[in-house]
Amino acid sequence: MTQPPPPPEPLPIAAPVLAPLDRIQAAYQRRSETDYIFSFWTALGWTLLTCGVFGIYVVYQLVRRSRDHNLRRLEELDAATAFAWDQAGARGLHDELQPNFERVAAYLASMRQMATEFRDPVIWTVLAAVASGIVQVIVYVLVDSDLVKHDHQEGGAEHELSLIYTRLGAPIPSPDPATLHQAHNYVPRVIVLLLTCGVYGFWWEYDIMVELNRHFEKDWVWEDSLAGAVQMLSR
pLDDT in the model for residue 7 = 47
pLDDT in the model for residue 119 = 87
pLDDT in the model for residue 133 = 86
What is the model's pTM? Answer: 0.88
Residue 9: pLDDT band (50, 70, 90) is low
Residue 7 inside a domain? The answer is no
Dihedral of alpha carbons 191, 194, 199, 201, sign: positive
Q: How many CB atoms are closer than 10 A to CB 70?
A: 23
Residue 92 inside a domain? The answer is yes
Q: What angle do CA 43, 69, 48 make, to 5 degrees?
A: 10
pLDDT tens by residue, 216-226:
999 999 999 99
Residue 12 inside a domain? The answer is no
pLDDT in the model for residue 153 = 96
pLDDT tens by residue, 46-79:
999 998 899 999 999 999 999 999 999 999 999 9
Residue 18: pLDDT band (50, 70, 90) is confident
Q: What is the DSSP string of 1-38?
A: -PPPPPPPPPPPPPPPPPPHHHHHHHHHHTHHHH-PPP
pLDDT of residue 201 exceeding 80, the answer is yes
Residue 201 inside a domain? The answer is yes
Based on the structure, what is the number of domains in the chain?
Answer: 1
Nearest to 228 by CA among 176, 181, 162: 162
- What average pLDDT does this structure show over 19-39? 94
Residue 199 inside a domain? The answer is yes
pLDDT in the model for residue 4 = 52
- What average pLDDT does this structure show over 145-168? 96
Which residue range forms the structural domain that includes residue 186? 40-233
- What average pLDDT does this structure show over 1-14? 50
pLDDT tens by residue, 105-148:
999 999 999 988 888 999 999 999 998 889 999 999 999 999 99
Residue 20 inside a domain? The answer is no
pLDDT in the model for residue 60 = 96
- What average pLDDT does this structure show over 149-174? 96
pLDDT of residue 190 exceeding 50, the answer is yes
